[in-house]
A and B are shown apart, each in its own frame.
Chain A
Amino acid sequence: MGGGVRSGKWFVAAPMALLALATIYPLVFTTNVAMKTRHEYILNRFSVTESLRWDNIDAAWNSVGMARYFVNSIIVVGCSVAVLLLLGSMAGFALGQLRFKGSRALFLGCLAALFIPFQVIMVPLARTMADTGLLDTYPGLILTYVAQFLPFTIFLMTSYYAGIPADIIDAARIDGNTLYGVYRRIMLPIGRPALLSVGILNALFCWNDVLIALLLMPSAEHRTLMVGVTALRGQYSDDIPTFAAGVLIAALPVLMIYLFFQRQIADGVTAGSTKG
């Protein structure tokens, strides 16, 4: 694999660069369209916009109601992630560090719950939510997101905490900490890298979800941003630039998170593949 491959590398790099272009281009295209007028778009779909105009973004944000959906999404995602991190780290500490009767069975049960997709439980869940008055409410949606992503969160937090030497806990207990104190004063700070990674992944999962939000938040004023985008499609099928602007608004927070936390996302995604 000496010299032959070295020159061959460029034969590989060229199609890979083309693929990279194909990966980036759809979003560049959408951004460009969002800056155009309808007239410009109809005349030429590819031409670079003549000026950076924010009219479409403004229209999508204000008159279409994306601002409202955006706030809804922030509330739901923020609360869901906070609860997930709290419950996930508590359970992860208990399952990863404290060997107690039934801990192994609980961990395996949690692993099993990972393999129940939402599609399988959505019918009875919607009915339960309706029966308990939680349908079309923030707590109902938040609780469902927590239930949906908790097994994954516990799985990662347990693997993380299991790798922490027991001496640290022993030392803290000698200093007079209860187990609750150990959790609050030692485990939460120590778990910060894992919590960051899991938190960002959960935020992405909740932010990007459409099925659960569509099922549990039927009324228009409760729409999350992703549900808002699906509604946008019907309303603005003849005004592509405004539609593209709405899509861009919904994608922007995720792109920012990706730019800043790429490594944490990759860590979280790969954790399951290398740990037992």
Chain B
Amino acid sequence: MVGLADGTNTRTMDDRPGPARRPPARSRSRGWERWAPYVLVAPAVLIIVGLRLYPLLLGVNFSFTGDGDRNGQPVGLDNYAALFDDPLFQQALRNVGLLVLLLPVAVAIPGLLATFIYLRVPGHRFFRSVYFFPAVLSPVIVGAIFNLLLAFDGPLNSLLRSVGIAPVDWLGDPGVAIFAVVGVHIWATFGMALVVFLAGFATLDSALLDAARVDGAALHQVIRHVIIPGLSRTIQFVFVTTMIGMLTAMFGLLYVMTSGGPEGSTYLPEYYIWIQQGQMNRPALASAASTVLFLIMLVVGLVQISILRRSGRED
């Protein structure tokens, strides 16, 4: 059969790394062919190793050297000591804590909305595509738009004034600004989590829902006893991706809306890294902050991988 195909019958099945059972191709390209899988992955591997893994090691190494006069000299843990002494970085970490506290809200909102859409609330198709749309906008665009809306003399405050509520300095009050920015972030991204939830609902056994319906269960009972257990994998996935989004996708908003202010109240680690690297010219200190952020991400990532692997087994 092989001979029929390519006119040469000189080859026998060999121990090529490619899958067995497959008939060999033309013999003239044999050596080249043998390495085909490696040739196909090589460019990607080179780029990922060179521009993602290697810089990671370089950065960790870098965080143990000095800035300025002590450029390149080993300084042990000095950068980390300076980092945790810096009120701005402390504020950034406190804000990470705040994000963790707000995480359930950021997950519950799209979860609840997805539930209603799944239960075919009137207009569910329309809601689905409208809610998803801000998710495709750049944080820069979103931030710029909300800069206009949330300005002290802006539309939101004039709306509040017209119904008799005192105006709020959304982006200028240190106690309010971080909530304003996180609120805008949630506004911009809940559609992403929503479609993930809806994809999860598609795998839900509808017989269970029908049974609950027949039993006359109330909505909150359905959510507690059918939806949450049935969607546990999706819910975990949304928790992790939402957390990653909060830790790494808010730079654009911070840069455009508050620049970390007022009084440093809206600093997050990613913004701190940017400032130390780009504005303060302290790359080694920035690398130490990067390493701390990476450790935070590592914990989140390990949780994620364990979910992915578990879901792989269950399939």
Contact A99 B222, beta carbon cutoff 8 Å = no
A90 to B241, CA, bound (A): 27
Nearest CB in chain A to that of B48: its residue: A113
Proximity string of chain A (21-49) to chain B, C-beta cutoff 8 Å, 1 when within and 0 when not: 01110110110010000000000011000
**Residues of chain A in range 171-209 having any CB-CB distance to chain B below 8 Å:** 173-181, 183, 204, 207-209
Smallest beta-carbon distance B108→chain A, Å = 14
Contact A91 B23, beta carbon cutoff 8 Å = no
Task: Pick the interface stretch among B81-89, B98-106, B173-181, B282-290.
Answer: B282-290
**Residues of chain B in range 242-281 having any CB-CB distance to chain A below 8 Å:** 244, 247-248, 251-252, 255-256, 269-270, 273-274, 277-278
Proximity string of chain B (203-237) to chain A, C-beta cutoff 8 Å, 1 when within and 0 when not: 10000000011001111001000000000001001
- Which has the most chain B C-beta neighbours within 10 Å: A9, A111, A112, A117? A117
Residues in A with CB closer than 8 Å to B255 are 210-211, 214, 230
Proximity string of chain B (97-122) to chain A, C-beta cutoff 8 Å, 1 when within and 0 when not: 00000000000000001001001011
Instruction: Report which of B51, B134, B198, B251 forms a contact with A211, defined as CB distance below 8 A.
Output: B251
Contact B308 A113, beta carbon cutoff 8 Å = no
A143 within 8 A of B: yes
Residues in B with CB closer than 8 Å to A217 are none
Residues in B with CB closer than 8 Å to A20 are 126-127, 130-131
Proximity string of chain B (15-34) to chain A, C-beta cutoff 8 Å, 1 when within and 0 when not: 00111011111100100110
**Residues of chain A in range 73-106 having any CB-CB distance to chain B below 8 Å:** 87-88, 90-91, 93-95, 98-101, 103, 106
Nearest CB in chain B to that of A117: its residue: B248
Contact B290 A13, beta carbon cutoff 8 Å = no
Residues in A with CB closer than 8 Å to B283 are 123, 127
Residues in A with CB closer than 8 Å to B77 are none
Contact B37 A98, beta carbon cutoff 8 Å = yes
Instruction: Report which of B26, B44, B127, B135 forms a contact with A176, defined as CB distance below 8 A.
Output: B26
B68 within 8 A of A: no
A91 to B23, CA, bound (A): 22
Residues in B with CB closer than 8 Å to A110 are 44, 48
Residues in B with CB closer than 8 Å to A100 are 17-18, 37-38
Contact A215 B140, beta carbon cutoff 8 Å = no
Contact B290 A119, beta carbon cutoff 8 Å = yes
Contact A1 B216, beta carbon cutoff 8 Å = yes
Instruction: Report which of A45, A101, A117, A178 forms a contact with B293, defined as CB distance below 8 A.
Output: A117
Residues in B with CB closer than 8 Å to A126 are 277
Contact A5 B58, beta carbon cutoff 8 Å = no
Contact B59 A124, beta carbon cutoff 8 Å = yes
Interface majority SS (helix, strand, loop, mixed), chain A: helix
Smallest beta-carbon distance B119→chain A, Å = 8
B164 within 8 A of A: no
Contact A87 B47, beta carbon cutoff 8 Å = yes
Residues in A with CB closer than 8 Å to B33 are 178-179
Nearest CB in chain A to that of B131: its residue: A23
A243 to B167, CA, bound (A): 24
Contact A19 B22, beta carbon cutoff 8 Å = no
A28 to B139, CA, bound (A): 17
Nearest CB in chain B to that of A10: its residue: B122
Instruction: Report which of A13, A123, A209 forms a contact with B62, defined as CB distance below 8 A.
Output: A123
Residues in B with CB closer than 8 Å to A183 are 40
A165 within 8 A of B: no
Instruction: Report which of A24, A128, A175, A210 forms a contact with B5, defined as CB distance below 8 A.
Output: A175
Smallest beta-carbon distance A168→chain B, Å = 12
Proximity string of chain A (108-126) to chain B, C-beta cutoff 8 Å, 1 when within and 0 when not: 0111111111111111111
**Residues of chain A in range 249-276 having any CB-CB distance to chain B below 8 Å:** 250-251, 254-255, 257-258, 262, 265-266, 269-270, 272-276
Instruction: Report which of B21, B45, B137, B139 forms a contact with A254, defined as CB distance below 8 A.
Output: B137
Q: Assess A123 versus B286: contact at CB under 8 Å? Given A116-B294, A179-B25, A250-B140.
A: yes
Binding site for B on A (CB under 8 A): 1-2, 4-5, 8-10, 12-13, 16-17, 19-20, 22-24, 26-27, 29-30, 33, 45-46, 87-88, 90-91, 93-95, 98-101, 103, 106, 109-128, 143-144, 146-148, 150-151, 154, 166, 169-170, 173-181, 183, 204, 207-211, 214-215, 226, 229-230, 232-233, 240, 243-244, 247, 250-251, 254-255, 257-258, 262, 265-266, 269-270, 272-276
5 CB contacts below 8 A, A to B, read A99-B18, A115-B305, A123-B273, A276-B308, A276-B312
What are the 3 tightest A-B residue pairs by CB atom distance, in nearest-first order?
A276-B312, A115-B301, A208-B138
